[in-house]
Amino acid sequence: MKTSHGSGKRPSMFEVAKLAGVSHQTVSRVINDSPDVSAATRAKVQEIIAKLDYRPSNSARALASKRSRTIGLIAGGLRFYSSISAIASIESLVRSHGLFMSVSLVQEAQCTQEEFDDLCETFDEQNVDAFLFLTPTDMMFRAACRVRLDQPRVLLTSTHGALSMREAGRLEHPDDRRHTALVGIDQWGAMVEVAQLVAGYGHRLALYFAGPPQWRDATTRMLAWSKAAQALSISSQVVQCESWDSSEAYGRMNHILDHFGSSGSSRPTVVVTANDGQAIGVIRALHEHRLRIPRDISVVGFDDMPAMGDLYPPLTTVRPDFDQMGVAAMREVLRLLGEGEETAFSAAAHGMGLIPAKVIKRASLGPIPRT
């Protein structure tokens, strides 16, 4: 076999692209016999491929019409229950359809466009049939919208963020939109239901612990809560957190309780948090200040992580159907590949199919304290 630069290493698609004076995406399109390449460019790339004796890493690429039966998944948020649950469901459905899944895990808050493009290129060399992008942050979501791909893509994300769905649509190439689907949890609807439940117990003075602003889940939940609270005449003070961690929420709640104690101002009667981890930190601070839940103050979480029903008292929270979200995402992949019917979503918003989330009522939420 011929090798590049006499190094003994197998030539890469990047070397072909460099010598041909084109992008690696163009090389990929030539290999896959895409019509979106001029005759002159195709001939130049094929000449370099022959000169280097370049061989794509997946033998299935030799036949442009043959699929690898492999799905490429790029995922962030792997420290968190939601992402792990969704990926487990996706993997199970992939196996049930006789497919394979190739996975890359990234730091969701640090993933640059260049890194994201490189990961997609690596998957492209594996001849994946489609992409699944689990994009919890605005940075990842933006990168997933901007990357140019010949294969279908399904994005799992939230409806709201610093990058709106309308802006995201403008980032995509027009040809990509026909092969793109978006799936998420109906977090907006769940937070509206939480606000209605809180108001039904008579609460009109609340604290809301917001998640890190770069996370689309955090933005969606905070905007939904704020709008619903205002409509229900709930006065809500937002406590902006920089992480999802219980330790940060614990520290901030301690500071707030100390302030209320020294100032003599009215204490809120309910604390709503953007995730269960924050709720745990809040509950610890309340216990240490000898405040009874829910007799003195109520607490509500989000995610219904394992063991939330065993806290003292058991936590009222929101249970997103992460398993069903993973199933729906994979069904959308199959639909875009022409192997399945259109997914029937119970709700949709901003061009995204939404999976419901259920409010789980437990003992941590009760009526306002008696005066």
Judge if 161 and 203 occupy the same domain: no
Judge if 214 and 269 occupy the same domain: yes
Judge if 179 and 326 occupy the same domain: yes
Q: Compute how many other C-beta atoms are within 10 angstroms of the C-beta atom of residue 149.
A: 22
Judge if 326 and 181 occupy the same domain: yes
Judge if 115 and 79 occupy the same domain: yes
Model pLDDT, residue 145: 92
Q: Residue 360 domain-assigned?
A: no
Model pLDDT, residue 8: 56
Model pLDDT, residue 216: 96
Q: Residue 15 domain-assigned?
A: yes
Model pLDDT, residue 173: 59
DSSP helix/strand/coil, 254? helix
Model pLDDT, residue 9: 65
Q: Is the peptide bond before 294 cis (omega within 30 degrees of 0)?
A: yes
Model pLDDT, residue 274: 98
Model pLDDT, residue 291: 96
Judge if 241 and 142 occupy the same domain: no
Judge if 270 and 243 occupy the same domain: yes
Q: Residue 33 domain-assigned?
A: yes
CA 273 to chain centre: 19
CATH number, domain containing residue 35:
1.10.260.40
Taking 70 as the pLDDT cut, the residues of the chain under it are 1-9, 32, 56-66, 172-177, 261-264, 371
- Domain coverage including residue 31: 4-55
What is the chain's percent helix, strand, coil content, to nearest 5? 45, 15, 40
User: What are the tens digits of pLDDT across the range 16-53?
Assistant: 888 999 987 788 778 767 777 899 999 999 999 888 88
Please count the structural domains in the chain. Answer: 3
Judge if 92 and 50 occupy the same domain: no
* Strand blocks (E) in the chain: 70-75, 100-105, 130-134, 153-156, 180-185, 205-210, 235-240, 270-273, 298-300, 317-320, 347-349, 352-355, 357-360
Q: Residue 61 domain-assigned?
A: no
Judge if 74 and 122 occupy the same domain: yes
User: What are the tens digits of pLDDT across the range 357-368?
Assistant: 999 999 999 999
Q: Residue 18 domain-assigned?
A: yes
Nearest CA to 355 out of 333, 324, 327, 330 is that of: 324
Model pLDDT, residue 59: 41
Judge if 350 and 334 occupy the same domain: yes
